[in-house]
Amino acid sequence: MGKKTVLELMINGDTFEIACAPNMTLLEALRDKALLTGTKRGCDTGGCGACTVIMDGEAVLACLTLAVEAEGCDIRTIEGLALDGKLSPLQEAFVEHGAIQCGFCSPGFIMSATALLAEVPSPGREEIRRHLAGNLCRCTGYVKIIGAVESVAVKDRGGEK
C-alpha cells in the first residue's frame, strides 16, 4: 500500500478529513470514507454518469477525478441538494414525473441537470438532451427524465415551452 495523505474535502458544506492513497478516486472517497453512498459506482470508466457530482459548480465524474484534485473545491453530492429535509425542485420533478424507476442512475442525472440549470436556468429540450447525453439509464427510455428537467426549466421561463 502506498503512502496515505490526509485531505480536507468540503462536501455538501461540511469538512471531511479523509486519509487516502494518491490514486484514490473522488468516488471512493465519497462512498468509502465519507459514507455518502448516493453517488453511484457504475462503470468506473466515465461512460455511464452514475457517479456525477458537482465540483465548484461543474458536473464531474467522480470515478475519473482523483480525491486529491478535489481538495479545496466545493463538492456537492445528491445528499446535499435537499434543504432542511425538503427536496430540491429538480428532485421533486423527478418524483412527480416518474423519472425514477430502479433509481440507480437518478443521482447522476439529477446532479448533471442541477449543474445545467445553475448555468442555463431555462434550457430547451435539445439542450437538456445534449447536456444529459453522458448519463445512461437502462429503465426509463429517457422521456420522463427529460420531461422532469424540462418542467423545472419551463417554470423558470414562466410556463412557456
pLDDT at 141: 78
Give the pLDDT means over successive 10-residue stretches in the chain (161 positions). Answer: 87 97 97 98 96 98 98 98 95 96 95 97 95 92 94 70 53
Please state the φ and ψ torsions of residue 154, each to the nearest 5 degrees.
-65, -40
pLDDT of residue 99: 95
Domain ranges of the chain: 5-80, 89-156
Domain 89-156 part of CATH 3.30.930.10 = no
Sheet-wide strand order for 58-61:
14-20, 5-11, 74-76, 52-55, 58-61
Domain 5-80 fold: Ubiquitin-like (UB roll) (3.10.20)
Cell matching residue 15: 469538512
Burial status of residue 55 (CB atoms within 10 A of its CB: 0-12, 13-18, 19 or more): buried
Q: What is the dihedral of CA 72, 42, 128, 150, to 10 degrees?
A: -100
* φ, ψ (nearest 5 deg) of residue 16: -115, 130
- pLDDT reported for residue 159: 53
Whole-number pLDDT of residue 2: 67
What integer pLDDT is reported at residue 97 of this predicted model? 96
Residue 129 pLDDT: 96
Q: Nine-digit cell at 12?
A: 455538501
Positive or negative: CA dihedral 12, 17, 19, 20: positive
